[in-house]
Amino acid sequence: MFMLFIISFIIVPVLKCCGTETSTYTTQYDEVDIKEIMGNERLLVAYIGCLLDKNPCTPEGKELKRNIPDALQSDCSKCSDKQRENADAWIEFMIDNRPEDWTKLEERYNPDGSYRTKYLEGKHNATSNVDESK
């Protein structure tokens, strides 16, 4: 499945450690419960607003916003396994459940729509594989 990180914001902040160039992002926030954020309207709206410059950001939100462009450009090559897992979950959730918010985020961080395309292709392939196994 595509590695996207969005962007999404992936509220699992993909962060750089101490402002220096590193081969990976810090794992300081890897234990953030992405499911809790996705299931809590107040938290979800706050993170989306942060990423869209509509409201203040938490420290981890600021770092996430700062690192999204690099993560997208490098296909999340500096992400930990947990960050990739959370990025996939976040993107899937946003596309399937919050398409209007996803569109706004996509316009800002991924205007060519390449990650939506990768997600939909992956979803189609997964569905095809399930159907073939029956």
Q: Which domains does the chain have, with CATH numbers?
A: 34-132 (1.10.2080.10)
Nearest to 60 by CA among 83, 89, 85: 83
Which residues have a Cβ under 8 Å from the Cβ of 40 and sit 6 or more positions away?
A: none
For residue 124, give both structure tokens.
């189609």
Which residues have a Cβ under 8 Å from the Cβ of 65 and sit 6 or more positions away?
A: 50, 51, 57
Token pair 């810090």 is at which residue? 26
Per-residue pLDDT of the chain in tens (134 residues, 90 and over written 9): 433 444 444 544 444 434 445 588 888 888 888 899 999 999 999 999 999 999 999 888 888 898 888 888 888 899 999 988 988 898 889 989 999 999 999 999 988 887 778 777 776 676 666 556 55
pLDDT of residue 22: 59
Contact 95, 102 (CB under 8 A): yes
* Nearest-angstrom CA–CA distance, 109 and 105: 6
